[in-house]
Chain A
């Protein structure tokens, strides 16, 4: 079955770190660009990070640059998002999304169901 599955969410205290994972099944994730998108409670979708299909290029939203690190784990067919210095504003559902191949490059063709992160003391 072709799908993406996020994991690693949970309840975390402010100031701590968390590592989210996006694992692919049914295809090779390293052949595609991958994004992380966040949805805060009651809010819309917000793009947070991207890693290129070769893993040589990563981009971050201004709001998370310096605290978020995206990386590939090709041995596990996965992409990770390391989040440090968590604040309550980081609370939300975190989705990973895979780009398509041309003409759907830069388009979020496939999404996971998300993992919930709650930052609270």
Chain B
């Protein structure tokens, strides 16, 4: 099974900050990686797929990069609506999520 490891687990930030979340795969997954945003009481939301393709309707301050085993999600100029938990997910071999990164108010 492919394991996904995110870091950090928690990130304290302020509005306007630039954030980077890292996701590592236990083996090569090429670019079969997605990022999701999860807010309490709401459905998870697809942000990015194929490691760097922005899903429709997602603000351009979100971006993704990486391939193979190392990936990053970057949020430029954090907005109040961005405080949430973010998950990476590999879909090369079945489906596995990272443990999540909670972005909280500093």
Contact between chains at A44 and B49 (CB < 8 Å): no
Determine, out of A11-19, A83-91, A100-108, the stretch whose residues face the partner at the interface: A100-108
The interface centre, meaning the residue of A44, A50, A110, A114 with most chain B CB atoms within 10 A of its CB, is A44
Measured as residues with beta carbon below 8 angstroms from the partner, the interface class of chain A is 20 to 34
Interface residues of A in 67-116 (CB under 8 A from B): 95, 97, 103-104, 106-114
In angstroms, Cα B40 to Cα A113, docked, is: 10
Interface residues of B in 52-94 (CB under 8 A from A): 53, 55, 85, 87, 89, 91, 94
Contact between chains at A107 and B42 (CB < 8 Å): no
Q: Is B50's CB within 8 Å of the partner chain A?
A: yes
Q: Is B34's CB within 8 Å of the partner chain A?
A: yes
Identity of the chain B residue whose Cβ is nearest the Cβ of A35 in the assembled complex: B95
The SS class assigned to the A binding surface is strand
Identity of the chain A residue whose Cβ is nearest the Cβ of B6 in the assembled complex: A44
**What residues of chain A have their CB less than 8 Å away from a CB belonging to chain B?**
4, 35, 37, 44-47, 50, 59, 61-62, 95, 97, 103-104, 106-114
- Name 15 extra pairs, CB < 8 A, besides A37-B44, A44-B97, A103-B49: A44-B98, A44-B100, A46-B97, A47-B95, A59-B94, A61-B94, A107-B34, A107-B46, A108-B36, A108-B44, A108-B95, A109-B46, A110-B46, A113-B42, A114-B43
